[in-house]
Every structure is written in C-alpha cells, then in structure tokens.
Amino acid sequence: MAVLLVLALPLLILIHSAALQQSAKAPATSASADTEQTNLLEFGKAKTPRPAKTTNSKVVKIISYNIRWRSGDDLKKLIQLFQDDPEIGNAAILGLQEVDRRKKRSNNTNTVKQIADELGMHYAWAAPPSVKSGSEEETGVAILSIYPLTDVRRIVLPYEGPNKRRRVALGATLNVEGREWRVYSAHGETRLAFGKKLEQLGSLLKDLSRYPADMPAIIVGDFNTWEPGADRKIIKLFSDAGMKTPFGTESTFSRRVLFVPIQFRLDWIWLRGIEPTEFGIDKKIEISDHWPLWLNVGLPPSKQNQPASTIPPKSSNSQWKLTTSNQRTNPD
C-alpha cells in the first residue's frame, strides 16, 4: 500500500493540474480585510434563528467540513445530516470550506444562506478576489452559529496559487453563553511551497493575536497539508501559539486516482482555552471527498473564576481518544 501511495502521489498532483513549481511568485502580504471587495463578504441570519443556547448547556458541538461546493440533492442530504446525524447533527458552530454562492456549477445557489435558513443559524461567508474582472466568484468559506456573529473579518491569505488564484479565511466573534469566543474557518492553497502554506496559516494566528490571550479561540479548516512531514510542522506552528488539537494522524480526505485509493490529512480543528469532551471523523458521510471533523467542547469557566493564564500548556493530547465512523479501507 505504501508503494502504491508513493507511485500515486505524483498522479494526484497532476490531477490538480500543477506541481509545486507552479506555486506563487508573489511576495508575502499581511492578512487583509480587503474592504475594497465588500461584495465578497456576506453575513446574516435565518428568518427564524434557533435559541442561542445548546441542548446541553455545558457542551458545545463544533464541525469543520469541506463540502466541495455541494448543491441540489447533495446539499439537501447535507442539511439533513446537519440536523439529525448522531455525530454532526445539531452543531452550535459550523466551519465550512468550498462553499459556493454565485457559480454555475452549483446553480447559482447561495449555499450558506440556504443552510442557515434550514438550520436556524447566523452565518458569514467570504470568498477571495476573482482573478479576472467580471468572472464568477471563487469558492468561499463560511461560519454558521446559533450565536450571533460580530467583528466579522474577511482575510485574504498571502501568496497566489496557480493562475494567480487566491485563498481566503473568515473570522468572527461569538458570544457563547455570556463569553466571547473567536472562531476562524480557512481554506489553504493546495499548490504552494510548504513554507508559504505555513505563512498563510500564520496570518490567522496574527489576526488572533489582536484579541485577548484569555479569549477562547477555534481555528478550523482545510489546510491542504498533504506533504510528507506536514503534520509535525503544523503542530509546531499552532502549539507554539498556545493552541492544541485532539486529532492525531487520521486521514480526512479520500480520492481514487487511477483506481488507487489516496488518503491525506488535510483538515484540522485547533483550540485555545477550551477542552474537548468527545471528537471524531465521520467517515460514513461521503457527500464530499473530505470527511467532516466534529467535536464537543466543555464551556470554559467564567472570567471571574479563571486562573490567571488560560493559554494551555503544550500537550501530546494522548488523553483524548478519536472516534471514527464506518472507516473505509477502499474509499471511492
């Protein structure tokens, strides 16, 4: 299997139409709200929002999922899963990637608004700038929550990808049971030298540094970290910033390339100041070529009951146990 993976890796990259040499030549830029393109930032709420209180007031469910621009019947199935699936259903916070709004391939559906209306949630959506004026929007990222969103910030990630394509992240502040949390959803570039990928992710940490160090924080998304050794470097980057993840080396992405199953760990959830009680990768859901990550976190203590510092120590996270659902040995 290892030999097949080594042989198939170049084919997967070829399927993506580029190699690392095609990565961006643009210099690094700082993360930007890019206010010149406010049409690529949208936020709102469902006509009938759900109460801003979890079913279990001591536990908050968080989801990260690259939905791969699903629409039509697939989107209806996805919404149903978000409503009643045992693992990803009834979440309080959703971070989604590859979310279309005005694109022909998804029937010009405003995907995030449709999800928000069906689930009774507040939402924000952002996309990177289009390469050509007047062309279709690029696919975006989204945050949905039962809690109102404030201080919504669109972050265009540094460096261009193939054909000057850009990628984007989205940040928002949520009032969770009387305490502010900072939440990010990000979609990193696939075809980019890994050092530049780290700078893209570093721009999220830079934005987070604008907020109090004792503010609970969540960073989720598809980081496109498929390179050998990427896990170790990603873990160091976020651990050095006082964040931690319960997820180990489990794959989050599956695709067949010339009949060879390829699996990578591309998707992440990072936490600061909050602790998971349960978590897993829902591998029975095959709507996208990614699998959704889910976790339940306990509410942190109120500020008046907090210790002086809430930045967690570095940890191997060995006390946490991963749950996978219907893990596949031969993914489609």
Tell me the DSSP string of 108-174: T--HHHHHHHHHT-EEEEE-PPPSSTTSPPPPEEEEEESSPEEEEEEEEPSS--GGG---EEEEEEE
Distance CA 25, CA 14 (A): 20
**pTM of the predicted model as reported, rounded to 2 decimal places:** 0.83
DSSP class of residue 69?
T
Total number of domains constituting the chain: 1
Residues 6+ away with beta carbon under 8 Å from 295:
61, 62, 246, 269, 276, 278, 279, 280
pLDDT (0 to 100) of residue 325: 54
Residues 216, 253 contacting (CB under 8 angstroms): no
Give me the phi and psi of 60, to 5 degrees please.
-120, 125
pLDDT (0 to 100) of residue 270: 98
Give yes or no for residue 323 having a pLDDT over 90: no
Bridging pattern class, strands 217-222 and 267-272: antiparallel
Residue 245 belongs to domain spanning: 45-303
Question: CA-based Rg of the chain, rounded to a whole angstrom?
Answer: 19
Domain membership flag for residue 165 = yes
Kindly report the average pLDDT of the chain as a whole number. 84
20 occurs within a structural domain: no
Euclidean distance between CA atoms 29 and 279, whole angstroms: 35
> Are 234 and 189 a contacting pair, CB within 8 Å?
no
Is there a domain that residue 322 lies in? Answer: no
Quick: pLDDT tens for 262-273: 899 999 999 999
Does 116 map to a domain? yes
Q: Which residue intervals of 104-229 are DSSP H helices?
A: 111-119, 194-208
Domain annotation covers residue 129: yes
pLDDT of 56 reads: 63
Instruction: Give pLDDT tens digits for 133-146.
Output: 888 999 999 999 99
Q: Are 200 and 165 in contact (CB under 8 A)?
A: no
Average pLDDT over residues 191-195: 96
CATH code, domain with 134: 3.60.10.10
Q: Give me the pLDDT at residue 176, please.
A: 95
**What letter represents residue 263's amino acid?**
Q
**Residue 204 clears pLDDT 70, i.e. is over it:** yes
pLDDT given for residue 197 in this prediction: 97
Q: Identify any residues that bridge with 171 across adjacent strands, giving them in sequence order.
A: 153, 184
Q: Would you call 44 helix, strand, or coil by DSSP?
A: strand
In a domain? residue 274? yes
Cα within 13 Å of Cα(146), Cβ side = 19
Give the list of residues 6+ apart from residue 242 with CB closer than 8 angstroms, or none.
213, 272, 311, 312
Q: How far is 1 from 252, CA to CA, in rounded Å? A: 18
Kindly tell me if the per-residue pLDDT of 50 is higher than 90: yes
Distance of CA 269 to the CA centre of its chain: 7
Residue 319 sits at the vertex; the CA angle it makes with 237 and 331, to the nearest 5 degrees, is 75
The answer to whether residue 281 sits within a structural domain is yes
Residue 283 lies in a domain: yes
